[in-house]
Every structure is written in structure tokens, then in C-alpha cells.
């Protein structure tokens, strides 16, 4: 595994570990926080007219991927909480 792949994996893993307990405690609050952060990251990602470089792009893409994973987990948990048992 080269440096960029290792760094990407580390970032995604750390983001998930940071939010893991909080997702179970209050998925709605985590969802709101993550969606705000993602909105800012997507704007920043699009504002690359001077060029960040391959390392900074990898970090930003990994951060977005990690937060999107957290967002998906929150949405799934919220859906399970609102879906009546069959």
C-alpha cells in the first residue's frame, strides 16, 4: 500500500471511529453536523482553481468519503428507528 492509500484509509477509519459512539447516542445531531461539514467541504473541493496537489486532494476526498459513510449510517439508523416493526 502506498502512502496515499494508507493515508486515505487512516482518515476514513479515524472519522468513523470519532463518530461511532455519537451516532448511537444522537444520530439526528450527528447527521446535522456532518451535513454542514460536507456542504463546506464540497464547496472547498470545487474551489481548486489554483491546484491543491495530489496529497491535499487525497486528504479532502478521504474526509468527504468518511463523512459520507457517517451520514449514511445516521440515515440508516434514523430510518430503522422510525420504521415500525413488522
Predicted confidence (pLDDT) at residue 75 exceeds the cutoff of 60:
yes
Question: pLDDT by residue (tens digit) across 39-60?
Answer: 999 999 888 878 888 889 999 9
CA–CA gap between residue 59 and residue 9 (Å, rounded): 10
Identify the helix (H) or strand (E) that includes residue 42: helix 27-46
pTM across the whole model? 0.90
Other CB atoms within a 10 A radius of the CB of residue 46 amount to 8
Q: Residue 37 to residues 4, 5, 74: CA-CA distances in angstroms?
A: 23, 23, 14
Average pLDDT over residues 11-33: 97
How high is the mean pLDDT of the chain?
93
83 against 63, higher pLDDT: 63
The radius of gyration of the chain's CA atoms, rounded to the nearest angstrom, is: 15
**Residue 83 DSSP one-character state:** S
* pLDDT 10s digits, 1-12: 699 999 999 999
3-state class (DSSP) for residue 84: coil
Share of the chain above pLDDT 90, in %: 79
Amino acid at each position: 500500500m502506498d502512502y496515499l492509500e494508507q493515508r486515505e484509509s487512516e482518515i476514513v477509519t479515524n472519522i468513523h471511529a470519532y463518530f461511532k459512539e455519537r451516532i448511537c447516542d444522537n444520530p439526528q445531531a450527528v447527521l446535522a453536523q456532518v451535513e454542514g461539514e460536507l456542504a463546506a467541504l464540497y464547496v472547498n473541493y470545487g474551489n481548486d482553481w489554483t491546484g491543491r496537489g495530489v496529497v491535499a486532494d487525497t486528504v479532502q476526498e478521504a474526509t468527504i468519503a468518511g463523512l459520507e459513510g457517517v451520514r449514511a449510517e445516521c440515515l440508516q439508523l434514523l430510518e430503522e428507528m422510525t420504521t415500525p416493526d413488522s
